A and B are shown apart, each in its own frame.
Chain A
Amino acid sequence: MATEILRQSTLPDPFRAGLSSGWKVVDASALTEDRTVEADVAIVGTGAGGGTAAEILTGAGLTVVMIEEGPLVTSSDFRMRESEAYPQLYQESAARKTKDKTINILQGRCVGGGTTVNWTSSFRTPVATLAYWASEYGLAGFDAADLAPWFEQAERRVNVISWPVEPNENNDALRRGARALGLSVGAIRRNVKGCWNIGYCGMGCPTNAKQSMLVTTIPAALTRGATLITRARAWAFEHANGRVMALDCLGLDARGTDPTPRRIRVRAKTFIASGGAIGSPALLKRSELPDPHDIVGKRTFLHPSLVSIARMPERIDGFSGAPQTIYSDHFLERASPGDPIGYKLEAAPLHPVLGATTLPGFGAAHARWMHELPHAHVAIALMRDGFHRESPGGRVELKSDGTPVLDYPLNDYLWDGARRALATMAEIQFAAGAREVMPVRPAAVSYTSWPEARDAIAALPLGPATANVVSAHVMGGCPLGPDSRRAVVDPSGRYRELENLYVFDGSLFPTSIGANPQLSIYAITAKLASGLAEKLALRPRS
């Protein structure tokens, strides 16, 4: 064990090197007194949106302070253990739930946010999604051609590449099964540089191959003199006369769960909310900002996802190798807005804790599947929510302690999609050679043939017994658009009701994306942040 740690520490950790060169980083859990910080721009959150904005704004010569709720942990700390990674790097120990506790949400909470823990899947925003934003929401300037240069810039920045390595068995089985059924499949591009193909992306990349915000934009911003405050929860904006005056933050304890008595007051000329699609709406609501059309936090989307686990004759080793390299949009492309919901098919990695908590049932039935862990294949179906009147998404609310909860009721429109998705995944898995398939639903029933699975799944009543639902993508809640009745953020990214507040994160999206959202966030926030940088640089600095 000691030898292993010693060996791990021989890998370079550029972030630690930067810290010793004098980067300004404050851990709010260690503060012994309250602090006041000033900057031209204050950015709440260091994920895909906040990281992108920090690099662009410091590049324009502005002073920036970043406020992050999670801890600063870097490659030397990433020991590839779920028991450490989930409590440390994810909201609510990777067990964040919707209000009725039906949906489990995986959401990052650390420096780099979701980009530090995501599975590196890089998709441009689907053209169909952008077209829907234009036709349904009148959003101009965000079509595929408008965004192309921003996608190119983002892809260069985080090194999005066609993955040259063969997919692992978990992804290959998805490809085999889908092809056998005549379904279209594609290869997933990844934002990695020198990836070792070990498969622990979700616990923080120990080799710095993943080009997350933690190794790209945030180091760039810190090198240009930005300040990073960690374990500080942005609590409320103070605002008067149509402007945000200051941001009040609570220090968190070292575990990151409980507030301490310490307060950090941030004064800036411009403020940016990049706390993600639960955090940003919650911050705006706590701040009691004007919201005349009652939009903030509504239409929050999740890509509600279903899981199907199969027992394969060969070893799959779903814990090993790049987690996501194959996808199928077959059932997404066939679904137009207004149709029954479409879904994207992907594989998901399988480590012991994620597997054990996802596998339904208990006792001997559960143990039997765990003993088959190396032979288990995991398919997921991500439903594209927000494109139908029966899919209005969820609503971010505040608990009485001011922390957020997402109320996302599932209705028959979504349960119908869940049932179809479970059937699709079972058919693919049997076509790939599965001996047994278990749609992940509370009853924990498995099937040994496709006809048996098909008939049983078709007979499932719609409702909570249909399926267990998970999410790894939170989007919407502060939609961007030209119509003030439907969008609280204008097309420049500015919160309509205040002069100097911007929202740069996945909460801008008027619907879900229909693909893993990181690249959509990078490109769209890069466009908006560049516009803001231009505007602020033109203004005389006092």
Chain B
Amino acid sequence: MKYGTRDRRTRAQALASPPPTSLRITRRTLLKAGVAGVAALVAARWLYTTVSAPSKTTTSDAPLDSNARAILAAIIPVILDGALPGGPDAAGARDEALAGAAQAIAGLPPAVRSELDQLFALLAFAPTRCIVAGLWSPWPDASRESIAAFLGRWRDSRFSLLRSAYEALHQIVLGAWYGNPRTWSAIGYPGPPSLAIG
């Protein structure tokens, strides 16, 4: 593919093209490939999309889809265990963490948002969730222990793809949480100084 100005139309068309059929393809190929080949296949799939076009992805204004929200909602209490408040503030804090993560993702370039879409699609699709993430319950039902174990496995994985997916979740959730001024007093951060003169 060329990038000269004469290719503008192709590029514009690519940006405007409909959602990919990647999930359907993945599912069909998965059934053929059997368990052993799945991890490699998924890795290859995501790697491929990592370096390929931002076909259709969430626009920078659109919120995350419901799959992504469910996954983040399940992961947030585990990554932020020890940081989220308990008691009556707990639910509101989790919502703020989720909103912050969505906002952080919306600020990323199209190609990166597209990769995250792929990641959430893989984590949402039950066969890949079970086999690749090792998580046998749907996200809303998964125990904190099983989610923590999943995060630990990906963090320490020998596949760079899974390690980088863990890092992405780590950065998005923690970066969004601690960017929120409401979290600062708990960690002894006074916030930016006032620039009052005199």
Residues of chain A whose beta carbon lies under 8 Å from any beta carbon of chain B: 4, 7-8, 10-11, 79-83, 86-87, 92-93, 95, 97, 99-102, 196, 198, 200, 206-207, 235-236, 238, 248, 253, 255, 257-259, 261, 263, 285-288, 319, 351-353, 355-357, 359-360, 362-364, 366-368, 370-371, 373-374, 398-403, 405, 442-443, 464-465
Contacts and interface: CB of A to CB of B under 8 A. Distances in A.
Interface residue tally on B, bucketed by range? 35 or more
Nearest to A203: B192
B156 A352 contact: no
Most chain B CB within a 10 A radius of its CB, from A7, A95, A196, A261: A95
A487 to B, nearest CB: 24
A362 B178 contact: no
Given A81-B179, A464-B160, A399 B51 contact: yes
Contacts of A7: 194-197
19 contacts: A7-B196, A10-B197, A81-B179, A82-B179, A101-B167, A101-B168, A235-B5, A236-B3, A258-B60, A261-B12, A355-B178, A356-B177, A362-B79, A362-B151, A363-B78, A374-B187, A401-B14, A402-B11, A443-B156
A11 B195 contact: yes
Contact of B171 (A83, A95, A374, A402): A95
Interface of B: 1-5, 8, 11-12, 14-15, 51-54, 59-60, 78-83, 100, 104, 106-112, 148, 151, 155-156, 160, 163-164, 167-168, 170-171, 174-181, 183-184, 186-189, 192-197
A301 B111 CA distance: 23
Contact of B174 (A79, A366, A399, A443): A366
B82 A79 contact: no
A176 B8 CA distance: 57
A99 B51 contact: yes
B11 to A, nearest CB: 7
Nearest to B114: A401
Contacts of B180: 83
A398 B60 CA distance: 21
Given A95-B108, A355-B178, 8 more contacts: A8-B195, A87-B104, A235-B5, A259-B15, A374-B188, A399-B53, A400-B14, A402-B11
Q: Which 6 A-B pairs have the closest CB atoms?
A: A367-B82, A83-B179, A80-B192, A101-B164, A286-B3, A87-B107
A356 B193 CA distance: 20
B115 to A, nearest CB: 9
A359 B156 CA distance: 15
Contacts of B163: 101, 442, 464
A378 B2 CA distance: 44
A79 B167 contact: no
Contact of A11 (B15, B184, B197): B197
A90 to B, nearest CB: 10
Contacts of A400: 1, 14, 51-53
A8 B107 CA distance: 26
Nearest to B176: A83
A464 B2 CA distance: 34
B109 A92 contact: yes
Given A235-B5, A352-B184, A442 B156 contact: yes
A276 to B, nearest CB: 16
Contacts of B100: 83
A5 to B, nearest CB: 10
Contacts of A255: 60, 106-107
A378 to B, nearest CB: 14
Contact of A97 (B8, B80, B156, B164): B164
A367 B82 CA distance: 5
Nearest to B78: A363
B108 A93 contact: yes
Contacts of A11: 195, 197
Contacts of B54: 401
A371 B188 contact: yes
B98 to A, nearest CB: 15
Given A352-B178, A443-B156, A464-B163, A257 B110 contact: yes
A93 B156 contact: no
B81 A353 contact: no
Given A100-B164, A356-B178, A442-B155, A206 B195 contact: yes
A235 B2 CA distance: 12
Given A7-B194, A371-B188, A400-B52, A363 B148 contact: yes
Contact of A288 (B2, B112, B176): B2
A319 B189 contact: yes
A79 B111 CA distance: 29
Contacts of A259: 15
B172 to A, nearest CB: 9
A285 B3 contact: yes
Most chain B CB within a 10 A radius of its CB, from A99, A359, A370: A370
Contacts of A288: 2-4
Contact of A363 (B53, B81, B109): B81
